[in-house]
Amino acid sequence: MKLLFWDIELAESVEAHGGWAAALRGDCGISVIAIYDSETGRYYLYDEKNLDAAVEHLNTADLLIGFNTIKFDTVVTQAVTGTYLTVQQYDLLQAIYDALGHRSKGWKLDEVCQRTLGIGKTDSGDFATVLSKEKQYGKLFTYCMHDVALCVDLWNHLVNGHPLKDPNDNDLFITLPVEEYA
């Protein structure tokens, strides 16, 4: 099974364009798409000049995996490129909300990884738009790739039967399509 883990970074801040709705319309653009490909064991980075190639790569997956990707990254990517992602997706944040039975604060990628894995993000998405504006592509790509690596680590943690930690240090078990995609 070919699993692709992915993340995007916006090229411009949501504040500069009037909020999150503008980002979802594609108004903030995309500076980078990072992908980890389980078949090759490699990371792939796509900048704003080759987003179509990134979407082609994403559409080769048996399963796309990310954090808040279905309601954000997918929507933004489709708005910016005009091309749809046609493969099955698994969103770790949506799986958390499904397990909880509701949306709740305390479940950002950094928070989940800090509690569960003892490691966190290197910065925030706001930092990524600054890096994009300043054309600091090495730092930008490293930041986005690290977010993808955190998703890979979370997936592996869950596939091995371990729970996530909630904000009160309780265990939260997530249902994974393990038989099909582990």
Q: Where are the domains of the chain?
A: 3-176
Give tens-digit pLDDT for 42-89.
999 999 999 999 999 999 999 999 999 999 999 999 999 999 999 999
Alpha-carbon span 180 to 178, nearest angstrom: 5
**Sign of torsion over alpha carbons 57, 9, 76, 152:** positive
pTM of the model: 0.95
Compute the distance between CA of residue 46 and CA of residue 145 in angstroms, rounded to an integer.
11
pLDDT in tens, 126-162: 789 999 999 999 999 999 999 999 999 999 999 999 9
pLDDT tens digits along 29-52: 999 999 999 999 999 999 999 999
Q: How confident is the model at residue 124 (pLDDT cuts 50, 70, 90)?
A: confident
The CATH number given to 3-176 is: 3.30.420.10
